[in-house]
Amino acid sequence: MDTNETQEAVTYVCAFNAQCPTRLILNRIADKWTVLVMILLESETKRFSSLQREIGGISQKMLTQTLRGLERDGLVTRKIHATVPPKVEYSLTALGHTLKDLLYAIKTWSETHINEVVTAQKSYDRKNMKS
């Protein structure tokens, strides 16, 4: 933070309030790409190309947007090495590490309960196709 900037404290925090800034961070951490990127960065620093290879289906544009948002929110740090071509590495900040257990729990729950969710979706779709 620049010395000219002042830190603005949030005095009233309630995610159910439409004006609450916590909605922005909830949107960020609930994103599937955020979960996957942060889990990969939890154990080690990675380069952009490594993240893109390890996360099946993520486009370059989406990975760039995700990393920029995480960096802006203070969850990821980006380090540029002065080489040719430039080497850019990403890692979790201390704040980012505080989400580790929560993100692993979401990932594990998703993997554990996917069959039940798919069954429920198919059942719902069958019932609602008759309408």
- What digits encode the pLDDT tens for the residues 61-120? 999 999 999 999 999 999 999 998 889 999 999 999 999 999 999 999 999 999 999 999
pLDDT of the residue at 3: 44
Confidence bin at 129 (pLDDT 50/70/90)? confident
Find where tokens 């000219």 sit. 4
Residue 52 has pLDDT above 80, yes or no: yes
Give the domain ranges of the chain. 22-129
Tell me the pTM.
0.82
Higher pLDDT, 96 or 23: 96
Quickly name the fold that domain 22-129 has.
Answer: Arc Repressor Mutant, subunit A (1.10.10)
Distance (Å, rounded) from C-alpha 125 to C-alpha 1? 50
DSSP string, 36-51: HHHHHHHHS-EEHHHH
Distance (Å, rounded) from C-alpha 103 to C-alpha 40? 11
